[in-house]
Structure 1
Amino acid sequence: MSSPPPLRHPVPTHPAYIPEPPLTPGSPQGYQRFSSSPQPGQHHQNYAQPTGHVPAYTSPFQHQHQQQPQQQQQQPHAYSQPGVPPPMMPPQFGAWGMNDATAQLGMQIGSSAVAAGQEYVQRTWGGVFPNTHIKPHFNVSNSYVIRKLRIVLFPWIHKQWGRKSHRTDAGLTEYHPPREDVNSPDLYIPLMSMVTYILLCALHSGLQERFHPQVLGETASRAIMVVVLDFVFVQLGCYFLNVSGPSQSIDVIAYGGYKFVAVIPSILVGFLQLGTTLGFVTFTYFAFANAFFLMRSLRSLVLPDAASRAASGDPYATTSGSQRRRRITFLFVEAASQLLWMAFLVRGSH
C-alpha cells in the first residue's frame, strides 16, 4: 500500500492586473488612484510624483507645510546651500472649497476696507485729538506713577512745577514725556482712577444690596459728564482769554481727570463708616489739595513763562497787566469749581 502524497500549501502571488478602485478626488486632475501594492515598474514613479491629497477638515496652510518636505525631496540640489531658506508656498484655499483667486480678491478687499476705516477715523478725529499728542501722555513708568500720586494727594510738598522742554532735530521745542518729567500731565492715572471710581460705586451699591448692571452705566456717564463739562469750561475760558497751545486740549483733559484720585479716599472712608466728621475732613482736605494742584498745573497753560511760550511755538506772545489779572481770576474760579465737581461725584457714589 503506497503512502499519500505530501501536502503542499499554495504560495500567494500578486495578481497580474490590479483593478481600478472607485474614483475619489485628491489628485491635481481631481482624481486619485489607490493601490495596496504597486507594480514593479511603478515603484520608482510613486516616489518621484507624490500625490497632493489633502485630508478633509484641514486648513490650506497645513497642506502648505505638508508639501514643503516633499518638494525638498524632489529638488535635493536646489537648496543644498546653507543659509538659503526654501520658498514659502502660497496658501491652498482650494481645500476649503474656495477658489484661490477669489480668496486673494477677498483679502485685498478686506485690507482696503480696514485702510479706509483708519483713514476715516484719522480724518474725523485726527484734528481734535492728534495721535502724536495722545501717545506721549501714556508714556509713563512705575516710578512716575508713584511720584505723581504723591504730588496730587500732597501738592504742598512739591516745589518745582515747571515743565521740562527740549529742542528736536527739526528745530522745534517740545515738552518731555511724563516718564522723564513728573510735572507733565498723563492720561494713564486719570483713566485708571476713573475706572476705579466706577468700580467702587458699583461695590458700594452691592454692599447695600441694590446693585444692578445699570449702576455701571450711570456711574460712567456721570464721571464722563463731569470731565466733559470741566473741559468745556476751561476751553471757553482759554478762548476768551486768548490762550492757545498745540496740545492744550489733551493737557486740559489730563488735568481734569486727576480729581478722581482725590475722590477715591473720600469714598473709601464712607465704606469703612468711620463717621461723618472724619468723612467731611477727608473730603475737605483732598478737595483743597486737588484745587491747589490744578491751579499750579494749569498755570503753565494760562500764564506761560518764556520757556512755556517757546515750547508752545509762540515765543513772542506777551500778556498785559489787565489780561494777566483776568487769567489769575480764571485760575481761582477753576480751582474753586473742583469742590463742586468732587462733591457731585462723592454724593453720586452713595
Structure 2
Amino acid sequence: MYNNVEAQPAAPKPPSSSQPNPFGNAFYGAGSGLIRGGLGAYGEKIFGSSSEYVQSNISRYFSDPQYYFQVNDQYVRNKLKVVLFPFLHRGHWTRITDPIGGRLSYKPPIYDINAPDLYIPFMAFGTYVVLAGFSLGLQGKFTPEALSWLFIKGLLGWFMQVMLLKVTLLSLGSGEAPLLDIVAYAGYAFTGLCLAAIGRITLKYSYYFLMPWMALCMGIFLVKTMKRVLFAEVRSYDSSRHHYLLLFIALAQFPLFTWLGNVSVNWLI
C-alpha cells in the first residue's frame, strides 16, 4: 500500500569558480549612480549653456519682430518730426532701458521716441513705390513692368543702406547691433524720399530743393543715431576714424537719394 523506497540523497553542488566580492554591488551602484548623475549634470550644463547662448545671440542680432510694430499715432507723428527735422530734436538720443526678467532691455517704440520701428519704414517704402508709379503715369511712361523695377530698385537701395551702416559698425568693432535695428534705421530714408516725390508731383522745381535737403536731414539723423550706438557699445575706438566714418555715412546719403529719387523707366539710373 505504501512505497517503501528510500529517498536518494541529493548530489552535492560544485564549488563556485569565483569568489564573492563584498564590494561589487556597492561599487556598481555607486559607479552607475556617479555615471548617470555626472553625465546628466554635464549634459544639462552643455545643452543648457548652449541654448542660453543661442537665445542670447538671437535676441542680440535679430530681436523680436513684434517689438518694432508697437507704435501709435503720437509716436508716428513725433518720429517723423525727428527723422525729417533732426536738428529740431532738443531731447536726448539715447534709448530708455527697461530691466525685464533680470535682463536689461529697451522699451518699445510706443514708450520711447528714440526706439527704432519697422512700421514707418514699411509704410514709407510702399508710399514711395506708389508715388513713383504716379509720377511715371504723369510722364506717360507707366507700365506694370516699370513699377516692378522701381520696387526692386527701392529694395536694392534699402539693402545698400543696411550694408553701409553694418559695415561702418563692424569697422569700428561694434557689430552687435540687432539686424532689425539697422534695417529700421536704413528704412527711414524713404520718408524723405516720399516728401521729395510729392514735391516733384506738385511743384516740379521744388524737387531740386527738397531732395538735397532730405538727404542732409537723413545724414544728420543717422550720424546722431550711430553716435548713440557707438558710444553705447564701443569702449575704445579711434576718434578720428570714428568721425571720418560718420561723415562718410552722411555724405553717402546724397548719391543714394539722387539715385532713388530719379523716377524713370531705366531703374539703373
Which of 207, 212, 226 does residue 279 from structure 1 map onto? 207
Q: Distance in 2 between matches of 1:207 and 1:275?
A: 12
Counterpart pick for 1:288 among 216, 223, 226:
216
1:285-333 deviations in Å (ceiling 9; x for gaps) = 22211111111112222232xxxx4xxxxxxx6214xx23322221111
Write the letter of the residue equivalent to 2:235: T
CA 1:174–1:349 in 2, change beyond 3 Å: closer, same or farther? farther
How far residue 156 of structure 1 moved from its aligned partner, in angstroms, is 1.3
Distance 1:268 1:349, change over 3 A: farther
What is the number of residues matched between the two proteins? 209
TM-score after normalising by structure 1: 0.56
For the residues of structure 1 that align with 2:197 and 2:222, how far apart are their CA atoms? 21
Q: Which residue of 1 aligns with 2:183?
A: 253
Aligned match of 1:268: 198
Counterpart code for 1:294: L
Q: CA deviation at 1:207?
A: 2.1
Aligned counterpart, 2:109: 178
Moved more, 191-200 or 234-243: 234-243
2:109–2:116 Cα contact (<8 Å) kept:
yes
Amino acid at match of 2:103: L
Equivalent in 93, 100, 123 of residue 168 of structure 1: 100
Matched to 2:66, the amino acid is K
Shift of 1:284: 2.2
Indicate the SS of the match to 1:140. Answer: coil
Shift of 1:246: 5.1
Cα offsets for 1:208-241 (capped at 9, x unmatched)? 2221111221011101101111212222222222
Counterpart in 2 of 1:217?
148
**Distance in 1 between residues matched to 2:263 and 2:141, nearest whole Å:** 14
Q: For residue 262 of structure 2, give the secondary structure of its aligned residue in structure 1.
A: helix
Q: Check the 8 A contact 1:129/1:250 in 2, yes or no.
A: no
Partner of 1:140: 71
Matches within 5 A, 1:83-102: none
- Work out whether residues 166 and 175 of structure 2, in 8 Å CA contact, stay in contact via their aligned partners in 1: no
Q: Which runs of 4+ in 1 moved over 4 A?
A: 126-132
Q: CA deviation at 1:130?
A: 7.0
Task: Specify the alignment match of 1:151 in structure 2.
Answer: 82
Separation (CA, whole Å) in 2 of partners of 1:199 and 1:145:
20
> 2:243: which partner in 1?
328
1:152–1:289 contact (8 Å) kept in structure 2: yes
Q: Quick check: 1:341 aligned with 2:256?
A: yes
C-alpha distance in 2 between matches for 1:213 and 1:142? 33
Aligned partner of 1:199 among 130, 141, 147: 130
Q: Which has the larger radius of gyration?
A: 1
Secondary structure of the corresponding residue to residue 303 of structure 1:
helix
**Structure with greater helix share of residues:** 2
- What amino acid is aligned across from residue 140 of structure 1 in structure 2? V
For 1:235 and 1:131, how far apart are their aligned partners in 2? 13
- Partner of 2:94, secondary structure, is coil
The one-letter code sitting in structure 2 at the alignment partner of 1:172 is R
Q: TM-score normalized by structure 2?
A: 0.72
Q: Percent identity?
A: 25
Measured at CA, do residues 347 and 200 of structure 1 come closer, stay the same or move farther in structure 2, by a change above 3 Å?
A: same
Q: Which moved more, 1:215-224 or 1:229-238?
A: 229-238
Q: 1:128 to 1:219 in 2, by over 3 A?
A: farther
**Higher relative contact order, chain-length normalized (CA < 8 Å, sep 6+):** 2
